[in-house]
Amino acid sequence: MAAPQLLMPKATAVWLVENTTLTFDQIGAFCNLHPLEVQGIADGEVAIGIVGLDPTTNGQLTKEEIERCEKDSTLRLKMAKVAIPLPLTRSKGPRYTPVSKRQDKPDAVAWLVRHHPELTDAQISRLIGTTKQTIAAVRDRSHWNSANLRPRDPVLLGLCTQTDLNNAILKARKAAGKPATLDPLPGAEPIEPEHTESDAERHGRSIDYGAFFPSMN
């Protein structure tokens, strides 16, 4: 795990210079600054106009730690463990789509409308992160680029995963009172099993050796 980084090191250094008796070396080590730069802050030659930031207010340093190091110039400040809450992960709703893929969304809508009419507009919207207005425009062919739309699989376009698509289809079929199974796409031809010749057929087939050895006829 990476070591925590100090927030606004120069502003923190300004505060430590103005409010503590720590040495330039101690402040520089904590703020990742050269001691001469810290001295420049104290002399008013560096960080001019920067307002000091109290590291004890954001939990990065404790008053006890400052006092401990003020008593001994050989000690180094240790950053306090800050419990920064992690951002919440969104499990539902439209996902972020790179700009390069956003132009593919109408094609994906056209594919879903054609091959999976059981999907509602809300489901399609959540699945590929598009608006209901766009879906409606594709459905009634009023989309501004309707003439150039090419129905394309959203999974192949990278707009959703196959698992998400399958789950949406099964949910839609269940809501419509249909069997919750995945049917082959409309127009898809079933694959005929490959015929394998049996031993009986192979042995029962006569071989015309005359075709290979004319002198035998």
Q: If pLDDT is split at 50, 70 and 90, which confidence band does 194 have?
A: very low
Do 66 and 119 fall within a single domain? no
The whole-number pLDDT of residue 15 equals 93
Q: If pLDDT is split at 50, 70 and 90, which confidence band does 179 have?
A: confident
Q: Looking at the 3D structure of the chain, how many domains does it have?
A: 2
What pLDDT digit, counting tens, does each position of 30-81 carry?
999 999 999 888 887 877 778 888 999 888 899 999 999 999 999 999 988 7
Do 61 and 119 fall within a single domain? no
The whole-number pLDDT of residue 30 equals 93
Do 66 and 111 fall within a single domain? no
What pLDDT digit, counting tens, does each position of 138-162 carry?
999 888 888 888 999 998 888 889 8
Do 134 and 171 fall within a single domain? yes
What is the share, in percent, of the chain residues with pLDDT greater than 70? 71
Residue 28 forms part of a structural domain: yes
Q: If pLDDT is split at 50, 70 and 90, which confidence band does 210 have?
A: low
Residue 142 forms part of a structural domain: yes
Of 25, 53, 70, which closes a domain? Answer: 70
Q: Is residue 193's pLDDT more than 70? A: no
Do 108 and 161 fall within a single domain? yes
Task: Give the chain's mean pLDDT.
Answer: 78
Do 54 and 114 fall within a single domain? no
Q: Give per-residue burial for 167-199: e unless 16+ CB within 10 Å, then b.
A: ebbbebbeeeeeeeeeeeeeeeeeeeeeeeeee
Do 66 and 103 fall within a single domain? no
The residues, ordered by sequence, that sit 6+ positions from 167 with a Cβ below 8 Å of its Cβ are none
Residue 144 forms part of a structural domain: yes
What pLDDT digit, counting tens, does each position of 74-83 carry?
999 998 875 4
Residue 181 forms part of a structural domain: no
Q: Which of 157, 102, 168 is nearest to 129 (CA)?
A: 102
Q: Which of 43, 4, 2 is nearest to 13 (CA)?
A: 43
> What is the extent of the structural domain holding 55?
9-70
